[in-house]
Amino acid sequence: MNAKSLAQFVFIAVAAMAVYFFVSMARDADARGACTSVCLLGPAYANQDRRIPAFELPDLDGKRVSSASLRGRVVVLNFWTKTCRPCLEEMPALNDLAEIVRREGLAVDVVTISTDASADDARTTLAAALGKQPNFRTLIDPDAAVVFDKFGTRLYPETWLIDRSGLIRLRVDGARDWANPVVLDLLRMLGRPGGACPITFEAGKARGPYHGLCGGDDAR
C-alpha cells in the first residue's frame, strides 16, 4: 500500500469512527431525553411486550366504547372506585390533565374505568369529587370483568399509559399529580414515532442497559 492509499484508508477509518461515536452519542442523548420523564414518574411496570386487551364497556351515557376505538391516540387509562380515597384525591389532577391536553391539541385521551355498581353511582361520585362535569370519559365495569380479568388489577388507583398503536408502555400504581410537566413530556414522547424509552421496569425497579439513567446502580 503506497502512502496515498494509506492516507485514504486512515481518513476513511477515522471518519467511520467519528460517525460511530456521533451516532452512539446521539442515541444515548435520545434515550436520556426519552427516559427522563419515565424515571421521574417511577412506574411499577414499563415495557413494550403487552398490548391493550380487547374490551367494550358503556360510558356514563350508555354508549359502548371499545378498546379498538382508542387506537390512534395516546391513552391515559385510570381505574378507580368510590371506596378508594386516593382515587378521589387524584381525580381533580386527572381532570386538569384532560383539560390541558385538550387545550394544547395533543392526541391524548384521558379515560377512567369505574368498578362501581352503575353509571348513576359513578356520576354521583364524580360530582362530589370534582364539583363539576368531568373533562374525561368514564366507563363502567360493575363486575370488574375488564379491570380484574383482563388487566389483572386488584388495588386502586392504577393508571396505564398506552401509545397510539395500542401498546402498553407503563403502569403507575397509586395516586399521582397528573397535571404536571413531567407527565405532559411523557405523553408527548409516547405520541412520537420511535419515542420509546429503552428502560424497562419490573416491580418498580429499573432494568436494562439504560437503567442507570434512573439513578439506580443495583438493577440490571
CATH assignment at residue 88: 3.40.30.10
Could you tell me if residue 133 is inside a domain?
yes
Strand 158-162 with 168-173, pairing: antiparallel
How many domains is the chain partitioned into structurally? 1
Task: Name the residue with cell 395516546.
Answer: 74
Give me the sheet containing 108-114, strands edge to edge: 137-140, 108-114, 74-80, 158-162, 168-173, 45-46, 200-202, 205-207
Strand 137-140 with 108-114, pairing: parallel
Torsion of CA 185, 79, 111, 201, to 10 degrees: 30
Could you tell me if residue 151 is inside a domain?
yes
What is the pLDDT at residue 92? 97
Query: Mean pLDDT over residues 119-134, rounded?
Result: 96
pLDDT tens digits for range 137-170: 999 999 999 999 999 998 999 999 999 999 999 9
Sorted by sequence, the CB contacts under 8 Å of residue 186 that are 6+ apart come out as 37, 38, 41, 161
Instruction: Pick the range with the lowest mean pLDDT from 3-7, 43-47, 182-186.
Output: 3-7
Sorted by sequence, the CB contacts under 8 Å of residue 204 that are 6+ apart come out as 42, 43, 44, 173
Q: How far apart are CA 102 and CA 51, in angstroms?
A: 25
Q: How far apart are CA 209 and CA 220, in angstroms?
A: 7
Could you tell me if residue 84 is inside a domain?
yes
What is the pLDDT at residue 98? 98
Task: Name the residue with cell 366504547.
Answer: 65
Could you tell me if residue 72 is inside a domain?
yes
Query: Mean pLDDT over residues 99-127, rounded?
Result: 96
The pTM of the whole model exceeds 0.85: no
Could you tell me if residue 169 is inside a domain?
yes
**Which domain, by its residues, includes 104?**
49-195
What is the pLDDT at residue 16? 37
Task: Indicate whether 101 pLDDT > 50.
Answer: yes
Could you tell me if residue 213 is inside a domain?
no
Could you tell me if residue 38 is inside a domain?
no
pLDDT tens digits for range 198-216: 888 988 888 877 777 787 5
Could you tell me if residue 1 is inside a domain?
no
Q: How far apart are CA 65 and CA 57, in angstroms?
A: 5
pLDDT tens digits for range 165-198: 999 999 999 999 999 999 999 999 898 876 678 8
Q: At what angle do helices 119-130 and 85-103 cross, to 10 degrees?
A: 80
Paired strand residues for 75: 109, 162
Is residue 109 classed as helix, strand or coil in its secondary structure? strand
pLDDT tens digits for range 56-71: 999 999 999 999 999 9
Strand 74-80 with 168-173, pairing: unpaired
